[in-house]
Amino acid sequence: MQKELSAEHPLLRITIGGVNQVGYDSGNAAIMAGRKLAWMQDIDTDQNSNGEVWDDWQAVWRDVFVLDGANSKVNLYNLTVHDLRTPANYAELKSILIDSAMVSQKPFTNESIAVDVDGNGIVAPRDALLVINRLNSGGGGTIAPPTGTSISEYIDVDGNLIVAPLDALRVINVLNQRTGGGEGEAAAPASGPMLEESFGSEAATGELPVGAVRNALLEPVSAHEWFFAQWGSEDGSGIGEPLLGTRLRRPR
């Protein structure tokens, strides 16, 4: 599944990792055979026969914890209840991981300046037009997960994973704030051409009143989504079945 996710959605940062329960160390080699996974062995510091991570997360066999970019649990999927050999379960888990990554990472929202839809560092009418054009060509509605390796239009300005008129309106509001702010000395953008339709004197990124808009619209996103599953079975054979892992952090 990790291979599929990486190949099908290279822009979504999804990492499957595992934490093995104490007492099942002997299964680690078999689990890693032929796989590349972030794999960890839990330890039992307080000697209650349970791993500390397992205790912290109250994990049970074959739990898959789906974590967001802040390592907070957003879903829990148990592979005893949902055997991944059933195609519908496999598809469901995969979909949960993708959807969670979309919510956390908002790949179609410009994380530098949300209202800069074309990502050229300048906020201009063209940024609103791109959204409007998308809506007019029937491209509104829920945004599908990206399948390419780059984003050319950050059309989801408000980061709700839907392309809607409000996304264009956000840009227009910022443009209106600028035009209402009076004339200023011309300042050239640090790089890139000044767009024809941009508001001449205020086209430089540094002068745009977008700072407040910018982070109000965006959740912080960390480098990776982390998930954990448990590969192993109650009898400790642990071969070929989903196991468990997490970044070592207590749940909220």
Residues that bind Ca ion (CB under 5 A): 44, 46, 48, 50, 116, 118, 120, 122, 127, 156, 158, 160, 162, 167
Shortest reach from residue 50's CB to Ca ion, in Å: 4
What tokens appear for 168 in the block? 């264009």
Nearer to Ca ion, 91 or 248 (CB): 248
- Cα–Cα distance list, 124 to 89, 93, 179, 188, 202 (Å): 45, 40, 11, 14, 10
Q: Report whether 66 contacts 57 (CB < 8 A).
A: no
Nearer to Ca ion, 43 or 212 (CB): 43
Shortest reach from residue 179's CB to Ca ion, in Å: 16
Nearer to Ca ion, 104 or 120 (CB): 120
Nearer to Ca ion, 66 or 168 (CB): 168
Shortest reach from residue 86's CB to Ca ion, in Å: 33
Residues in CB range of 181: below 8 A, 6 or more apart: 202, 209
Shortest reach from residue 120's CB to Ca ion, in Å: 4
CB atoms inside a 10 Å sphere around CB 118:
18
Nearer to Ca ion, 116 or 225 (CB): 116
Shortest reach from residue 160's CB to Ca ion, in Å: 4
Q: Report whether 42 contacts 35 (CB < 8 A).
A: no
* Cα–Cα distance for residue pair 207/132, rounded to 1 Å: 25
